[in-house]
Structure 1
Amino acid sequence: MIEAHALSKRYGERVAVSDLSFTVRPGAVTGFLGPNGAGKSTTMRMILGLDAPTSGRVTVNGRRYADHPAPLHEVGAMLEARAIHTGRSARNHLLALAATTGIPRRRVDEVIDTVGLQDAARTRVGRFSLGMGQRLGIATALLGDPATLVLDEPVNGLDPEGV
């Protein structure tokens, strides 16, 4: 469950998010809709502890993201799918992440299969199309088999079969 209470974020004089409160219950699929610059991505960054709120609070499964002992097992996230080392293969990217978080190697192959990257798993990420990068971002979010997923523009660049 994600709970935000009176969440606000300012960058100097600019208000990115103002007094936002919401609850996302387990099992629910919830979307943030709004024009560019409305604060959707900023809100997701605050959920994940990447940006500190100016005021208010947000918790995931009852705790701040930073307070989870094994965050990748609790929350999977994809904010910027292209924020990956371009010289690594998709499989090596996932293996490195798995190794640093105690996730079994077999889980890497499972998520590669889930997102349909089997044929590109050993390809360097720098050669990926936008859609393939999105698939890798989703695989990364799924890696820890989390109960909660936070995905920013998850279908960006995916063709209909990829969705």
Structure 2
Amino acid sequence: MSTENDLIKLYSARILALAADIPRHGRLSNPDATVKRRAPLCGSTVTVDIAVDDGRISDYAAEVKACALGQAAASVVGAGIVGLNAAEVTAARDQLKAMLKHDGPVPDAPFDGLEVLQPAKDYKNRHASIMLTLEATVEALEEAGARSSCA
């Protein structure tokens, strides 16, 4: 059973600072793909808009309505996502999931800032909120790729 001190440590000053300053927060006016994801357990939601050029994210925005942990994850993702391709974003998603669920290593740069969320591995009910932004971005890249192959 977790104690109140454990929860205080979980919501560190660094996590709260990231949550308070999410880069690229908002919406794009003309995205190539938009995906909204919701964590059923806690109700956190993220809507990701991306623009893609030559298979890489050329513009990105996310509307985030989540707990501080989900917001902190969105902050790290927003700071490093532009310029990446689907394989790189999928690898980051998989690395974050492994870090949380299997005590895996911290995701590679530019997402190594997600290490701040390592204490959350003991709080399984928070994992879905933390994963939302990368999951939505992977799905948006798949959607944009499917559209471009049909064009």
TM over 0.5: no
Higher strand share: 1
**Bigger relative contact order, structure 1 or 2 (CA pairs below 8 A, ≥6 apart):** 2
Question: TM-score w.r.t. structure 1 length?
Answer: 0.26
Question: TM-score, length-normalised on structure 2?
Answer: 0.27
More helix by share: 2
